[in-house]
Amino acid sequence: MRMRLILLLVAAAGQAGCSPGGGGAQREGDAEEQSARDEAGPAATITIAEAPAGGCAMEWDGRPVSEQELTERGIAVMDAGIERIGGIERITETNLPYLRVEASPDMAWSCVRPALAALARTGFARVELRPDGARGSPQIAFFQIEGSEPHPLVRRVEIGADGAVSWDGEAVDADLLRQRADAVVAGMPEDIAVSAAADAPFSAVHETIGAIRRGGAELTLITQG
């Protein structure tokens, strides 16, 4: 799986390179023991709903929060997660906490996107998406890391306001989307960038991510714009 925390790992590697010698075997053993810990699960559930007076509202484990409060709580969760594992040099792809984001299946992406963008800025590398009442599996999506170098080969998946999906500008159904994503896994590694129109339903984003990831393909969820 592609590492989504590359900037933090580069910083950690730089720190390790400046560390005094000795104790390498002990540090390696400690790191292996740390990696063997249970994977981090969702730290909280963010619920997106229509506000009574119009617009969008967010809840953190059932308690209303503003976008600023969401950011502050997200930072606190990330700080606690890094402290729990023993520092940034021990970060793996799965040992940091993530957040679950839920919304009604027909919720417009424009309502969900601001919360995801805030979480991405906070430092979360991944998020779990699940429509309210969905029977299917929640879908893990990865954020683009600010300042990271774009992959030289990027396939662009776009979701329209009506839920229709295109792959590099070509309309595709769910079966063809899975075939294209599987081909990426089997062939040359490429990034799959997923974006959605403001009026696209949340369920369409969830289903599209599920179709891409079913064969093991990675993706980056675009939350800007």
For residue 1, being part of any structural domain is answered with: no
Check residue 5 and give its pLDDT.
42
82 within domain boundaries: yes
Residue pLDDT, tens place only, 129-171: 999 877 678 898 888 765 555 566 789 999 999 999 999 999 9
Q: 107-126, pLDDT tens digit by residue?
A: 999 999 999 999 888 888 88
| Sequential DSSP letters for 145-202 | PTTPPPPSSEEEEEE-TTS-EEETTEEE-HHHHHHHHHHHHHSS--EEEEEE-TT-BH
198 inside domain: yes
Residue 20 lies inside a defined structural domain of this protein: no
pTM above 0.85?
no
Q: Which domain holds residue 143?
A: 6-13+25-221
Computed on alpha carbons and rounded to an integer, the radius of gyration of the chain in Å comes to 19
Is residue 187, in this structure, part of any structural domain at all? Answer: yes
Residue 59 lies in a domain: yes
The count of domains in the chain is 1
